[in-house]
Structure formats: structure tokens, C-alpha cells
């Protein structure tokens, strides 16, 4: 195996024996094969679009499959082989549709990925070496640009799936995703063309985050400033993790009146901010911290855990909660129970996990108190005059965007120390699970404005962009980089990549990225990002504070 798509790539270069995430070589291999197939299927979809032929089943299959390959999302080998078998059937049907539409379906001069067939699981597995990252491009810089775009597209696919689950879709986003995947099979493509595609990925990253924001707020209302309970009650509970708010809705509806409470974990924390969920009296609050601490926190929760998306840490045989894990959607874990997708606009059936919860002890309390969140763009814009006055008076000197993902590396304590050492006249704008490094610190407020403004999940980084653009308008500035805003971003997986590319597309410069730069950036590509956009790795807390505050 070879995988370097996440920040914890072994030795800072890539996992070659077993994924730091817990991914086995067999799962890594079959994921590579699925990605290979998706590239080839995208070539066919491009042929169709040239003739005005699109297919909703192809679009959904591609973004669902991409989401399955995101770091920490799916560790179930069987789910991947089943997805490939489904894909061969979809490709056959789509080719018939193309032929009926007058498209030449000759396989002459097509890349091998577009015509490859496998009649058994063993044939799928045998393709893993040829489908690996290192085999698809021998040129380091071309490979680096391809993978940068692909990882951005994977993040885009995650957000597109969440929006689609709420009935919001944008065909132009699907078209670009497939255009980008197909381009990775073009051996004549230049580095300059790939750089253009990388920046275009950022453009569609902005669009997909705006689409998901619209989907979430249309269905559940605009996030409100909310004090979220961190304690527990005496009822048995279900802990829901991940990002999918439609799953949250279904679970809350079905647990109502059952005597089972619902708690959020990690990236599901922002569900507490939406008005539509506040009507449920059995929705207690948040339990625990960032995803990487789940092995300890799941033990003490006592009840079943529902993963709606990525951020799974596979438990070892020494952990006693393995039989309490359920997955749904694009997530999967070998040996755990998987809850099937909903049909059409129906609801998922969570009856099994609810019955399981009823037999469990209540959660063990691991902390007390509250944390405040819900500072999405709608809420902050309502406070705009107060914020502007604080800036003009000098009460607020600078904003620090500290969004992104958390992770296990001890170097990530940098973000806690950085937040602690920020002067009292600065405010942190955050989104994503990176906030768990500082969202429970007693940082106080500035004239009633909390010094940590939590906009929500990683996709809610869009809110931070909207806030910045609103401030730019209010202050009458021509350039977003003239605002008193600094960007100190933590990254871990592919959704952070699409957020980064979206910021670059919007013209944001001088972003600090940590705790390490991505292993998939070749020295040449890293140099381009530094010279063109001012991207820099984090240094020491003191060094970076001097740079940001100068």
C-alpha cells in the first residue's frame, strides 16, 4: 500500500505497511481500485456531457464512492467490493444510454481505467498495485497536483452528499468533479493546466459549501448562539458522531418518547445550534471532545454510538465498546452493524440502535458545564455593528481564523498554546473539530463578544468567509487581505483540503498551515503555493505570534 492523503502520513511521507488511521493494506488497496474505477467512469460521463447527456445515478454513485474513501470514513472491505460491483452495472447501463443518445461508445483510445473489468473479488483485489497512486503518474510534480485536486474533490463530494440528502443538488458541481477525475488520466496534461484545475477546484469548493449552508439553514433554520450542555442525565443514551444533519433529524424523531436520550460527539456538536433540533427535550447536549479521543470516551458513554460519516478510530480487541458501534451512509467498519440508506425521501430505520440503547446503562459523566457556539454568518452579521465598533475603538485588534481538523499528534498542542497566548484584544473565528483544542479554555469576552466564535462544522468555514466578506464591505476595503484577520489553519483530511483551496480561490493569502505541510505536495508544488499565495508551515507559537501581530 501507499497512502499520503492525510496529515498523519507515516514519517511525513506516506503509509506503506498499515495506515496510521487503522486502514489495512487490503482496504487501502481496494480503495485505490475504487478510485481507479471512478476516474474511468468519469471519462464516460465526460463523453456524455459533450452530447448533453447526464445521469443522476452516475453522479450519485461517484460522490458517494468518493466520500467512502475519505480518511477515517470506511474500513469495511466488503462495502468497497460491493460498491465496485454496483459501479460495473451502472457503467454498463450508462454506456447503453450513451449509445441510444448517439454517442460513440467505442473503447478505442480510451484510458485503461475506462474499460477495465473485474468478474470476481479476487480480480478486483489483484488490480490494487496497478491502481496505486505511485503507478498512475511517475512524474512527482504532476502526481502532486493531481492528488491535490483529487483530495479537494473528495472533500467536495462529502459536502455534496450532505446537501443531496437534504434535497439540494447542483449539476455543475457534479460535472466539475467528474471533469477533474477524468483529467487525472490524461498523460499529456501540463502542470500549468493542472494548476488551473486546482484553483477551479477551489471555486467549486466555495459553491458546494454555499449549497450545503443553504440546505442546512433552509431545513433547520440559521444557527443561534447556544449554550451547549456538557453533562449527562440518568437515561440511557445514543451518541451520534460525524456530520450528516439529516441522520440527526431522523434519529431525534425516532427516539422521541422512547426514554432514550441523544448526545452529539465531535463534529456533530454544531447540531445543538440549529433551532429545528431544540424542540426535542431528549436532545441533551454534547459528550466528549474531538474524534481522536473516542477510544476513552466511548468506553464511558455506555450506550451505542452512531457514525454518520468519517472520523472513525477502529477499536482494538481491548476496547469494550466494539459491539456498540453502528455505521450508516458512507461510513463503515468491518464487524459493526450498518444501517441501510433511506429510500427516496424516506427516513432511515434506527429502530435497532434504539432498542440496543434501551438495554444499556446511562452515560458516565466525564465533565460538567457548558460551552457557547452558534456563531454562523447570519448570527455574526446581526452583531456586525457591535463587532465593527469594537474594531474601530481598538477593543478588538485582530481576528484569528483557527478552523480545520484536529488530530492525535502531540505537536497539535501548539494550537492550544497559541490560543492561550493570544492577547486579550483578539478574537478566534473557528469551525471544524480543531476547536476542541481551545473551545473550553476560559478566554473570556470583549464587550460581550466571546473570544472564541464557533461557526460549526468544517463545512461551516463558509460562514467564516461570509463574515470576512461582510467585514470587507462594511470597512469599504478592496482586498480581503486588508482586513485585520490572520489565518492559522489546522488540517487533517480531505475536507480541510477543499476548505484551503476555497480560501485560495477567494484570494486569501499568507495562510499558516499545520501541524505539517501535506506529504502529497512535492517541493516544486509547495514552492508555487508559497510564492503565489504566501502559504507557510507553522513555526513556534512565539514566532508565529510575532508574524501575525506585527
pLDDT in tens, 194-230: 999 999 999 999 999 999 999 999 999 999 999 999 9
Question: Are 349 and 454 found together in one domain?
Answer: no
- The answer to whether 354 and 255 have CB atoms below 8 angstroms apart is yes
With bands split at pLDDT 50, 70 and 90, how would you rate the model's confidence at 422?
Answer: very high
In angstroms, the CA 1 to CA 25 distance is 5
Question: Are 396 and 488 found together in one domain?
Answer: yes
- CA 36 to centroid of chain Cα atoms: 21
Asked if residue 494 belongs to a domain, the reply is yes
Question: CB neighbours of 117 closer than 8 A, spacing ≥ 6?
Answer: 88
Q: Which residue segment(s) compose the domain that 349 sits in? A: 226-358
Question: Are 403 and 523 found together in one domain?
Answer: yes
In angstroms, the CA 118 to CA 332 distance is 23
Q: Which of 69, 439, 457 is nearest to 243 (CA)?
A: 457
Q: Where a domain ends, among 328, 358, 388?
A: 358
Count Cβ atoms within 10 A of the Cβ of residue 550 and give its class: 0-12 exposed, 13-18 middle, 19 or more buried.
exposed
Per residue in 465-506, pLDDT tens?
A: 999 999 999 999 999 999 999 999 999 999 999 999 999 999
Give the model's pLDDT for residue 108: 82
Asked if residue 139 belongs to a domain, the reply is yes
Question: Are 129 and 202 found together in one domain?
Answer: yes
In angstroms, the CA 522 to CA 140 distance is 6
Q: In what order do the strands lie in the sheet with 325-328?
A: 283-286, 261-264, 237-241, 305-307, 325-328, 337-339
In angstroms, the CA 231 to CA 367 distance is 6
Asked if residue 39 belongs to a domain, the reply is yes
Question: Are 198 and 86 found together in one domain?
Answer: yes
C-alpha separations of 262 from 169, 247, 301, 353, 446 in Å: 29, 12, 11, 12, 33
In angstroms, the CA 286 to CA 273 distance is 11
In angstroms, the CA 533 to CA 195 distance is 13
In angstroms, the CA 168 to CA 171 distance is 10
Q: Where a domain ends, among 219, 238, 267?
A: 219
- Percent of the chain's residues with pLDDT above 90: 95
Per residue in 393-418, pLDDT tens?
A: 999 999 999 999 999 999 999 999 99
- CA 129 to centroid of chain Cα atoms: 27
- CA torsion 296-297-302-305 (nearest 10°) is -110
Asked if residue 363 belongs to a domain, the reply is no
Strand 449-450 relative to strand 445-446, pairing: antiparallel
Per residue in 433-450, pLDDT tens?
A: 999 999 999 999 999 999
Question: Are 236 and 191 found together in one domain?
Answer: no
Q: Show the beta-strand stretches assigned E in 302-437.
A: 305-307, 325-328, 337-339, 370-373, 398-401, 426-430
In angstroms, the CA 26 to CA 11 distance is 21
Question: Are 207 and 231 found together in one domain?
Answer: no
Query: Which range has the worst mean pLDDT, 26-40, 59-73, 373-387?
Result: 373-387
> Total structural domains in the chain?
3
Give the model's pLDDT for residue 165: 96
In angstroms, the CA 140 to CA 440 distance is 42
Give the model's pLDDT for residue 488: 98
The CATH number of residue 430's host domain is 3.40.50.2030
Question: Are 325 and 461 found together in one domain?
Answer: no
For 154, the grid coordinates are 473528495
Per residue in 166-203, pLDDT tens?
A: 999 999 999 999 999 999 999 999 999 999 999 999 99
**pTM of the full structure:** 0.97
Point out which residues pair with 15 in neighbouring strands. 3
Give the model's pLDDT for residue 288: 97
Average pLDDT, the chain: 96
Give the model's pLDDT for residue 306: 98
For 199, the grid coordinates are 484553483
- CA 127 to centroid of chain Cα atoms: 28
Question: Are 346 and 422 found together in one domain?
Answer: no
Cis bond upstream, residue 237 (ω within 30): no
In angstroms, the CA 229 to CA 452 distance is 17
Residue 1 has, within 13 A of its CA and on its CB side, a CA count of 25
Asked if residue 180 belongs to a domain, the reply is yes
The CATH number of residue 32's host domain is 1.20.1270.20
Per residue in 79-135, pLDDT tens?
A: 999 999 999 999 999 999 999 999 989 888 899 999 999 999 999 999 999 999 998
Is pLDDT at 318 greater than 90 in this prediction? Answer: no
Question: Are 111 and 249 found together in one domain?
Answer: no
Give the model's pLDDT for residue 384: 86
For 539, the grid coordinates are 513555526
Look up cell 454510538; give the residue.
305
With bands split at pLDDT 50, 70 and 90, how would you rate the model's confidence at 274?
Answer: very high
Q: Which of 525, 517, 383, 403 is nearest to 461 (CA)?
A: 403
Asked if residue 5 belongs to a domain, the reply is no
Question: Are 177 and 34 found together in one domain?
Answer: yes
Question: Are 14 and 141 found together in one domain?
Answer: yes
Amino acid at each position: 500500500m501507499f497512502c499520503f492523503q492525510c496529515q498523519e502520513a507515516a514519517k511525513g511521507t506516506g503509509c506503506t505497511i498499515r495506515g496510521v488511521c487503522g486502514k489495512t493494506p487490503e482496504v487501502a488497496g481496494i480503495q485505490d481500485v475504487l478510485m481507479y474505477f471512478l476516474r474511468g467512469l468519469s471519462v464516460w460521463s465526460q463523453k456524455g456531457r459533450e452530447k448533453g447527456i447526464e445521469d443522476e445515478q452516475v453522479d450519485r454513485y461517484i460522490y458517494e464512492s468518493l466520500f467512502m474513501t475519505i480518511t477515517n470514513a470506511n474500513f469495511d472491505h466488503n462495502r468497497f467490493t460491493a460498491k465496485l460491483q454496483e459501479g460495473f452495472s451502472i457503467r454498463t447501463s450508462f454506456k447503453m444510454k450513451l449509445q441510444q443518445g448517439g454517442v460513440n461508445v467505442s473503447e478505442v483510445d480510451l484510458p485503461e481505467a475506462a474499460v477495465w473489468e473485474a468478474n470476481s473479488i479476487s480480480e478486483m483485489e489483484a488490480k490494487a498495485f496497478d491502481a496505486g497512486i505511485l503507478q498512475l503518474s511517475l512524474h512527482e510534480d504532476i502526481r502532486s497536483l493531481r492528488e491535490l485536486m483529487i483530495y479537494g474533490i473528495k472533500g467536495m463530494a462529502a459536502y455534496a452528499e450532505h446537501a443531496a440528502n437534504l434535497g439540494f443538488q447542483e449539476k455543475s458541481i457534479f460535472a466539475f468533479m467528474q471533469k477533474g477525475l477524468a483529467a487525472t488520466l490524461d498523460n499529456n496534461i501540463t502542470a500549468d493546466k493542472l494548476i488551473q484545475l486546482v484553483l477551479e477546484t477551489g471555486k467549486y469548493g466555495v459553491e458546494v459549501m454555499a449549497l450545503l449552508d443553504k440546505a442546512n439553514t433552509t431545513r433547520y433554520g440559521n444557527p443561534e448562539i447556544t449554550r451547549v450542555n456538557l453533562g449527562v442525565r440518568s437515561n440511557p443514551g445514543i451518541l451520534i458522531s460525524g456530520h450528516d444533519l439529516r441522520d440527526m433529524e431522523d434519529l431525534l424523531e425516532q427516539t422521541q418518547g422512547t426514554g432514550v436520550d441523544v448526545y452529539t460527539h465531535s463534529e456533530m456538536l454544531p447540531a445543538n445550534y440549529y433551532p429545528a433540533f431544540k424542540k426535542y427535550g431528549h436532545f441533551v447536549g454534547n459528550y466528549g471532545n474531538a474524534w481522536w479521543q473516542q477510544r476513552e470516551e466511548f468506553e464511558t458513554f455506555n450506550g451505542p454510538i452512531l457514525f454518520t460519516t468519517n472520523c472513525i478510530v477502529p477499536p482494538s480487541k481491548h476496547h469494550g465498546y466494539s459491539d456498540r458501534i453502528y455505521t450508516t451512509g458512507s461510513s463503515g467498519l468491518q464487524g459493526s452493524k450498518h444501517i441501510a440508506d433511506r429510500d427516496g425521501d424516506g427516513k432511515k430505520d434506527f429502530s435497532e440502535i434504539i432498542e440496543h440503547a434501551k438495554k444499556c446503562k446511562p452515560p458516565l459523566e466525564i465533565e460538567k458545564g457548558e460551552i457557547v457556539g452558534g456563531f454562523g454568518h447570519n448570527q455574526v452579521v446581526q452583531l456586525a455593528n457591535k463587532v465593527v465598533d469594537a474594531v474601530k475603538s481598538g477593543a478588538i485588534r485582530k481576528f484569528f481564523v483557527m478552523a480545520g481538523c484536529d488530530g492525535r499528534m502531540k505537536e497539535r498542542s501548539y494550537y492550544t498554546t497559541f490560543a492561550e497566548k493570544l492577547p486579550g484584544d483578539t478574537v478566534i473565528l473557528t469551525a471544524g473539530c480543531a476547536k476542541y483544542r481551545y473551545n473550553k479554555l476560559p478566554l473570556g469576552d470583549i464587550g460581550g463578544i466571546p473570544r472564541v466564535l464557533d461557526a460549526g462544522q468544517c463545512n461551516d468555514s463558509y460562514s467564516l468567509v461570509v463574515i470576512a466578506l461582510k467585514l470587507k464591505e462594511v470597512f469599504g476595503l478592496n482586498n480581503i487581505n486588508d482586513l485585520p484577520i490572520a489565518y492559522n489553519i489546522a488540517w487533517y483530511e480531505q475536507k480541510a483540503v477543499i476548505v484551503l483551496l476555497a480560501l485560495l480561490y477567494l484570494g486569501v493569502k499568507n495562510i499558516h498551515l499545520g501541524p505539517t505541510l501535506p506529504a502529497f505536495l512535492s517541493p516544486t508544488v509547495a514552492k508555487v503555493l508559497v510564492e503565489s499565495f504566501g502559504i507557510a508551515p507553522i513555526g513556534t507559537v512565539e514566532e508565529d505570534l510575532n508574524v501575525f501581530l506585527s
